């Protein structure tokens, strides 16, 4: 494989947004006839790199060579003409048009100035035949499954571009059978000598299809290695940036293990989102949830809090089954949930810090029983002091606060409702170091005061630090529950990396 | 110095615009500010502004709440026509005034709930959801009146709602002031205002925090329907008949304008009912002023549009920034000359 020049080569590329570096001096080399997986957690710089290659962003520094020639794609269309096509997770085709129209949209074969439908359909059939896809090209695309739409999108991208194909999480919404169909198409294209960049959070799939892996973390290149012979554990530690270490553990009072569970999940699941899970959470206990992005960890929390409805299993609170049909129901049971995406799911940006703090409590009381201005100010001041929320004024709109302070306001919003069960999804993501430590201290503190907590975090060291138990999710399944001495980043990574092909019992 | 209530101080720009337009009216028609009492009722151009402005003011109250949730209600003009037709046909079929009013308000409530259901339960975009009733509404009104203008010249009790007076004030003025005060009290003394604003800013976050967003959305559209119903009864009582084609025609646009002039953003969130009331009064003063000026009627809409354009340009973010920059640069120049003078010394 050491022959000739690489198909696509990225050298020393950097990109910053408003002075914040998203990509720093990254190299990336794609050979013809290779499936090259690009891996990294959220914010690692994968999508920035892809967008630079496909012309959606312009690089600040460095060069991109296609077959040895430097290229400067102005936009995505320009990159397509140069030979670089992209297929995204959400198929961005027009499902109301026919398969053939989608394949030839914007470049329909013309006859006397009009679209030559017969010619278009004939050529479409010929293209799809090469993929072994004998579907009716005159039927609307919407008639077919997402997997077939995905293949049509690939066929279109390959037909237009033909050198480099970027697959951005193409399998996220497919089932195992459909994934296999997609992969057979990818293998064909590899055999034809195309270079394929494959982005996925599913490690099993990466091992199944990729020849080479490049890992990015925090905008930097970690390494590029061949898949053959790469240990999963090594890969996971490259992605998460942690050496194997025995973490520091919080001493856990063994008596909590004997008390009755506050919240019990029995076979709770939703098809295509989370496989059925059994879990007990007791008062005075922090249950940590570990797993890569897309492992189903957020989705599980959403089932518990009634944001999404489960289609199997039950939730019991203090022994009594509860139909968790809406967040209101969950809140009425004394649940609280700090979401991962603060901006869209958490803060009410234009409202003041005071209003954001009293918000959940007011919603719970209903509109007829308003908190008086005095009560609101007292509550706000109490939490601003208790959580050390840095704001010049309690009447300042929350959108002007830093991420860490917004997170503290959200915590205050829920603590004001005096919950007995608190779910935190990535409570320390994107916040400054000071606030970080304070939030961890708060988690431990709340737990010691008898609250039950479920904490989802990618910061494994942190999770090991405060969790009484840790459950590990992978590919929408709970694959392990770590207790006692097994609570360590080491064991978490081993669990995430363990072979567990979809067929095997988890 | 007289203490100005905060509720008014926050709306200084609207007060200034209103004052300017009233002053212009007074220049055009010297007797504009004179008010006199005849037969125990106040008369005068100012009273006329308050009186004629009643429908738009009422619509603007409901519209403000809807817009605060990031929605819009295009159907209010059509709902006025429907409710006018319902009131006229009830009273002419011999129902008592209370029964007629109850029936009319009930129909308005149903119209509002229909819009609310489309928006809150089916998640249809408000502009489309309410467009349906805007288009269908006049047809429904025509069906009710059987295509004619249904008059009730012999029903003084209903006519009283449109042209009677109480405590020297015309009935429409009393009705809108009472409803406005009620609305402001309910919204600001309960937590409803906060919850409405929160839904307008971030509906998902509100729902996740336990706000019953669907019920509140339903409620604001229902209130908008009720306000339109009251406006519809007043409009019908005023002309002593139900005109399915023209009752409330284009008034949804005036109501939206009143809300925007009043300082509530179409993007939802923070709202001001007082601002919207002033917006409605500004629009009515314009209408009255144009009539008093005696321009040929074909100019009326153009002049109105031009003046509203000026108001909105002055309020626009672009000109606000430009103003701020202008002030800053003047300040900078002043500082510079000052420091130069210092240096010269």
* B189 and B337 assigned to the same domain: no
pLDDT at site A55: 87
- Same-domain check for residues B256 and B242: yes
* 8 A C-beta contact, residue B137 and residue B232: no
Instruction: Dump pLDDT digits (tens) for B50-81.
Output: 999 999 999 999 999 999 999 999 999 999 99
Model pTM greater than 0.80?
A: no
Co-location of B286 and B202 in the same domain: yes
Q: Do A337 and B208 touch (CB under 8 A)?
A: yes
What the block records as the tokens of A446 is 């709340």
Task: Report the gap between the CA of A332 and the closest CA in chain B (Å).
Answer: 9
Q: Is residue B9 part of a domain?
A: no
Domain ranges for chain A, please list them.
8-96+140-230, 246-334+419-506, 345-418
Taking an 8 Å cut-off on Cβ atoms, the answer to whether A413 and B205 are in contact is: no
Tell me: do B315 and B200 sit in the same domain.
no
Here the ipTM equals 0.83
pLDDT of residue A409: 94
Q: Tell me the mean pLDDT in the region B25-38.
A: 84
Q: Are residues B269 and B306 in the same domain?
A: no
| Cross-chain Cβ contact B202/A347 below 8 Å | yes
Radius of gyration of chain B (CA): 22
Q: Given this model, what pLDDT does residue A502 score? A: 41
Q: What percent of chain B has pLDDT over 90?
A: 55
The pLDDT, as a whole number, for residue B39 is 80
Confidence of residue B341 (pLDDT cuts 50, 70, 90): low
The total domain count for chain B is 2
Looking at the complex, does the CB of residue A328 fall below 8 Å from at least one CB of chain B?
A: yes
| Of the partner residues A331, A351, A369, the one whose CB lies closest to the CB of residue B198 | A351
pLDDT at B32: 81
Confidence of residue A340 (pLDDT cuts 50, 70, 90): confident
In the prediction, which pLDDT does A294 show? 75
| Secondary structure in 3-state letters for A393-419 | CCCCEHHHCCHHHHHHHHHHHHHCCCC
Closest CA to A165 of A151, A152, A154: A154
Q: Which of B201, B210, B216 sits opposite A351 (nearest CB)?
A: B201
- pLDDT above 80 for A49: yes
CA distance B103 to B86: 8
CA dihedral B101, B104, B105, B109 (to 10 degrees): 170
| Interchain pair A348, B206: CB under 8 A | yes
pLDDT of residue B120 exceeding 90, the answer is yes
Question: What architecture is domain A8-96+140-230?
Answer: 3-Layer(aba) Sandwich (3.40)
> Do residue A371 and residue B191 have CB atoms under 8 angstroms apart?
yes
DSSP string, A85-135: EEE-SS--S-TTSBHHHHHHTTS--EETTEE-HHHHHHHHHHHHHTTT---
CB contact under 8 A, B202 and A366: no
A368, closest residue in chain B (CA to CA): B190
Strand, coil or helix: A493: helix
Determine the pLDDT at residue A268: 93
The B-side interface with A (CB below 8 A) comprises 189-192, 194-195, 197-198, 201-202, 204-212, 216, 269-270
Q: Is A354 in CB contact (< 8 Å) with chain B?
A: no
Per the domain annotation, does B15 fall within a domain? no
Domain assignment present for residue B2? The answer is no
Phi/psi of residue A22, each to 5°?
-105, -25
> pLDDT class for A506, splitting at 50, 70, 90?
very low
User: Does the pLDDT at position A501 exceed 70?
Assistant: no
| Mean pLDDT of the region A71-95 | 83
Q: Do A365 and B269 touch (CB under 8 A)?
A: no
The architecture CATH gives domain A246-334+419-506: 3-Layer(aba) Sandwich (3.40)
Q: What residues in A contact B267, CB-CB < 8 Å?
A: none
Is the model's pLDDT at B222 over the cut of 90? Answer: yes
Domain with residue B252: its CATH number is 1.10.3470
Tokens matching residue A317: 């609170």
B73 lies in the same domain as B198: yes
- The residue among B257, B278, B294 that closes a domain is B294
User: Do B91 and B180 have their domain in common?
Assistant: yes
Q: Is the pLDDT of residue A504 over 50?
A: no
The tens digit of pLDDT for each residue in A352-395 reads 999 999 999 999 998 899 999 999 999 999 999 988 888 888 99
Is B12 inside any structural domain?
Answer: no
Tell how strand B241-242 and strand B150-151 pair up: antiparallel
A301's CB contacts (< 8 A; 6+ apart) are A289, A337, A423, A425, A454, A456
Reported as a single tens digit per residue, the pLDDT across A96-106 is 888 998 888 87
pLDDT in tens, A428-487: 876 665 677 788 888 988 998 889 999 998 878 788 888 999 999 988 889 889 888 888
Using a CB–CB cutoff of 8 Å, tell me whether A307 touches chain B: yes
**pLDDT (tens digit per residue) in B322-332:** 777 777 676 66
Q: How many CB atoms lie within 10 A of CB A323?
A: 11
Select the more confidently predicted residue: B147 or A329: A329
SS (H, E, C) chain B: CCCCCHHHHCCHHHHHHHHHHHHHHHHHCHHHHCCEEECCEEECHHHHHHHHCHHHHHHHHHHHHHHHCCCCCCCHHHHHHHHHHHHHHHHHCCCCHHHHHHHHHHHHHHHHHHHHHHHHHCCCCHHHHHHHHHHHHHHHHHHHHCCCCEECCCCHHHHHHHHCEECCEEHHHHHHHHHHHHHHHHHHHCCHHHHHHHHHHCHHHHHHCCCCHHHHHHHHHHHHHHHHHHHHHHHHHHHCEECCCCCCCCHHHHHHHHHHHCCCCCCCCCCCHHHHHHHHHHHHHHHHHHHHHCCCHHHHHHHHHHHHHHHHHHHCHHHHHHHHHHHHHHHHHHHHHHHHHHHHC
Note whether B55 and B189 are same-domain residues.
Answer: yes
- A18-27, A160-169, A233-242: which range is least confident on average? A233-242
Q: Are residues B116 and B250 in the same domain?
A: yes
Question: Which among B206, B208, B270 has the least Cβ separation from residue A350?
Answer: B270
Q: What number is the average pLDDT over the span B118-138? A: 94
Is the predicted pLDDT of residue B263 greater than 50, yes or no? yes
Residue B33 lies in a domain: no
Burial class (CB in 10 A: 0-12, 13-18, 19+), A383: buried
Q: What is the band of B343 on the pLDDT scale with cuts at 50, 70, 90?
A: low
Beta strands in A328-403 (DSSP E): 335-338
pLDDT band of B337, cuts 50, 70, 90: low
Kindly state whether residue B36 falls inside one of the protein's structural domains: no
B23 falls within a domain: no
Range of the domain at B192: 43-294
Distance from CA of A80 to the nearest CA of B (A): 35
Q: Which two tokens stand for residue B340?
A: 């130069």
> CB–CB of B210 and A331 under 8 A?
yes
Same domain, B267 and B328: no
Same domain, B309 and B206: no
Q: Do A327 and B204 touch (CB under 8 A)?
A: no
Sheet holding A8-17, edge to edge: A20-30, A8-17, A61-66, A69-70
Higher-pLDDT residue of A92 and A346 is: A346
Evaluate whether A8-96+140-230 and A246-334+419-506 have a shared fold. yes
**Average pLDDT of every residue of chain A:** 85
Work out the angle at residue B165's Cα, subtended by the Cα atoms of residues B163 and B170, and round it to the nearest 5 degrees.
Answer: 70
pLDDT at A252: 57
Tokens of A423: 């779910």
Q: Mutation test of the interface with chain B: which of A346, A356, A363, choosing the one with the most B Cβ atoms within 10 A?
A: A363
C-alpha–C-alpha distance, residues B64 and B262, integer Å = 9
- Judge if B289 and B303 occupy the same domain: no
């Amino acid at each position: 494989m050491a022959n000739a020049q690489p198909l696509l080569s990225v050298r020393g590329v950097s990109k910053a947004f408003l002075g914040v570096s998203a990509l720093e001096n990254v190299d990336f080399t794609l050979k013809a006839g290779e499936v090259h997986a690009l891996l990294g957690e959220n914010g690692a710089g994968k999508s920035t790199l892809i967008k630079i290659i496909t012309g959606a962003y312009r690089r600040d520094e460095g060069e991109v060579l296609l077959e040895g020639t430097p290229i400067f794609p102005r936009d995505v269309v320009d990159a397509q003409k140069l030979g670089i096509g992209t297929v995204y997770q959400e198929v961005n085709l027009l499902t109301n048009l026919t398969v053939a129209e989608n394949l030839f949209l914007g470049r329909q074969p013309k006859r006397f100035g009009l679209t030559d439908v017969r010619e278009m359909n004939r050529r479409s059939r010929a293209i799809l035949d090469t993929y072994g896809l004998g579907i009716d090209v005159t039927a609307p695309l919407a008639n077919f499954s997402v997997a077939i739409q995905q293949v049509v999108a690939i066929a279109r991208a390959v037909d237009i571009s033909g050198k480099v194909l970027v697959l951005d999480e193409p399998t996220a919404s497919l089932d195992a059978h459909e994934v296999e169909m997609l992969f057979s198409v990818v293998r064909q294209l590899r055999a034809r000598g195309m270079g394929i960049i494959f982005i996925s959070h599913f490690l099993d799939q990466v091992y199944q299809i990729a020849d080479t892996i490049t890992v990015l973390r925090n905008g930097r290149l970690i390494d590029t290695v061949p898949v053959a012979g790469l240990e999963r554990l090594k890969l996971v530690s490259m992605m998460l940036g942690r050496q194997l270490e025995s973490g520091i553990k919080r001493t856990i009072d063994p008596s909590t293990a004997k008390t009755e569970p506050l919240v019990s999940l029995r076979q709770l699941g939703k098809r295509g989102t989370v496989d059925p899970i059994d879990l007990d959470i007791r008062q005075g206990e922090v249950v940590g949830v570990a797993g890569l992005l897309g492992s189903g960890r957020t989705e599980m929390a959403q089932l518990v809090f009634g944001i999404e409805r489960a289609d199997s299993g039950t939730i019991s609170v203090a022994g009594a089954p509860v139909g968790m049909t809406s967040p209101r129901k969950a809140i009425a049971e004394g649940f609280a949930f700090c979401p991962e995406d603060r901006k869209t799911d958490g803060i009410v940006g234009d409202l003041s810090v005071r209003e954001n703090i009293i918000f959940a409590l007011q919603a719970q009381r209903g509109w007829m029983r308003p908190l008086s201005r005095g009560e609101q100010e007292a509550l706000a001041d109490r939490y601003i002091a208790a959580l050390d929320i840095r704001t010049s004024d309690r009447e300042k709109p929350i959108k002007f606060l830093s991420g860490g302070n917004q997170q503290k306001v959200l915590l205050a919003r829920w603590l004001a409702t005096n919950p007995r069960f608190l779910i935190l999804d990535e409570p320390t993501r994107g916040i400054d170091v000071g606030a970080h430590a304070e939030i961890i201290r708060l988690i431990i503190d709340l737990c010691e005061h008898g609250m039950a907590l479920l904490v989802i975090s990618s910061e494994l060291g942190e999770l090991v630090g405060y969790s009484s138990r840790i459950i590990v999710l992978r590919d929408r399944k709970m694959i392990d529950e770590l207790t006692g001495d097994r609570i360590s980043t080491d064991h978490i990574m081993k669990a995430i990396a363990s072979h567990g092909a979809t067929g095997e019992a988890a | 110095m007289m203490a100005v209530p905060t509720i008014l101080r926050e709306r200084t720009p609207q007060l200034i615009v209103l004052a300017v337009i009233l002053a212009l009216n007074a220049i055009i028609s010297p007797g504009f500010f004179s008010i006199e009492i005849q037969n125990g009722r106040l008369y005068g151009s100012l009273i006329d502004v308050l009186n004629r402005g009643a429908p738009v003011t009422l619509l603007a109250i409901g519209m403000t709440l809807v817009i605060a949730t990031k929605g819009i209600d295009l159907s209010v003009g059509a709902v006025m026509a429907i409710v006018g037709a319902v009131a006229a046909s009830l009273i002419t079929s011999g129902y008592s005034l209370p029964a007629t009013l109850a029936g009319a308000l009930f129909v308005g409530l149903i119209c509002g709930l229909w819009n609310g259901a489309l928006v809150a339960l089916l998640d249809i975009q408000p502009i489309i959801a309410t467009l349906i009733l805007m288009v269908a509404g006049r047809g429904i009104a025509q069906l009710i009146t059987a295509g004619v203008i249904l008059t009730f010249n012999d029903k003084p009790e209903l006519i009283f709602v449109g042209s009677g007076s109480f405590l020297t004030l015309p009935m429409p003025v009393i009705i809108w002031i009472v409803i406005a005060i009620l609305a402001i009290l309910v919204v600001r003394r309960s937590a409803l205002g906060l919850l409405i604003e929160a839904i307008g800013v971030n509906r998902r976050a509100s729902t996740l925090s336990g706000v019953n967003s669907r019920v509140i959305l339903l409620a604001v559209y229902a209130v908008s329907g009720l306000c339109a119903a009251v406006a519809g009864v007043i409009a019908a009582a005023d002309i002593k008949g139900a005109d399915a084609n023209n009752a409330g025609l284009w008034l949804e646009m005036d109501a939206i304008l009143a809300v925007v002039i009043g300082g509530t953003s179409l993007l939802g969130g923070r709202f001001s009912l007082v601002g919207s009331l002033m917006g409605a009064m500004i629009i009515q003063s314009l209408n009255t002023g144009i009539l008093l000026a005696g321009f040929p009627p074909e100019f009326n809409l153009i002049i109105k549009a031009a003046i509203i354009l000026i108001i909105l340009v002055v309020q626009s973010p672009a000109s606000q920034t430009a103003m701020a920059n202008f002030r800053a640069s003047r300040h900078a120049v002043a500082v510079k000359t000052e420091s130069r003078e210092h240096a010269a010394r």
